[in-house]
Structure 1
Amino acid sequence: MHYLYLTLAIVLEVFATTLLGKSEGFTKGLFAVGSLLTYGVSFYFLSLALKNIPLGVAYAIWSGVGIVLTAIVSVLVFKSKIDLPFVLGALLIIVGVVVINLFSKTSGH
């Protein structure tokens, strides 16, 4: 269940960040308020996940997956361009999260 909470936290954080981008520097109120509320719910689910997942592991997953998903959304929603260094960097992030989860004694598996 704790990884479900972490997944929800990540998805909501990516959605909140997307809304933040759409708020155009908090000049569009609905997007700004939606972003803040969504961040709040995201942090709530992260706090639930932290009851059973060590902080370092949860944050590695949160930030790694969040970075990759946010970049994908940026390409799809904001039409951002990606290049080879981006792809390689994203792959390194994913590999790092996998290594932590499979081999780290910190992960509590």
Structure 2
Amino acid sequence: MIKLEKLISWFYLILAIIFEVSGTTCMKLSQEFTKLIPSIFIFVFYGLCLTFLTLSLRTIPVSIVYSIWAGLGTLIIANISVIWFNETLTLIKIISMFLIIVGIAGLNWES
């Protein structure tokens, strides 16, 4: 039973990341709140994100949840910005994304 609860918490964390990335993408699409639908979805997606983020804390320590949520969300958004919004991908961005991965791994090494 405990393993199932832990698995469900990881699923909640994945959902939180998906909704956070969706909300952040809608921020860009809302064009400073001038587009109604993306503006509404910002709040919907962030509400769902924080709900699932909170639920993931049932069995996963907050330091692990937050580092994975923030780090993976940042990595995914950085890639979406390059692919979808045609932002430039520089060597500094690539190195920085690599360091985020190293940081997440380092924070979660003991667990």
Aligned to 2:16: 9
Q: How many residues align?
A: 104
Aligned counterparts of 1:52 and 1:74: Cα–Cα separation in 2 = 32
Compute the displacement of 1:11 (Å).
1.1
| 1:3-82 paired onto structure 2 within 5 Å | 3-82=10-89
Compute the displacement of 1:82 (Å).
1.1
Aligned counterparts of 1:96 and 1:15: Cα–Cα separation in 2 = 23
- Give every structure 1 segment of 4 or more consecutive aligned residues whose post-TM-superposition deviation is greater than 3 Å: none
| TM-score, L = length of structure 2 | 0.89
| Alignment deviations for residues 11-31 of structure 1 (CA, whole Å, 9 cap, x no partner) | 110011001110000010110
| TM-score, L = length of structure 1 | 0.90
Aligned to 1:102: 109
Aligned counterparts of 1:56 and 1:98: Cα–Cα separation in 2 = 12
User: Percent identity at matched positions?
Assistant: 36
Residue identity matched to 1:47: T
| Alignment deviations for residues 43-63 of structure 1 (CA, whole Å, 9 cap, x no partner) | 110010011112122111111
Compute the displacement of 1:102 (Å).
2.3
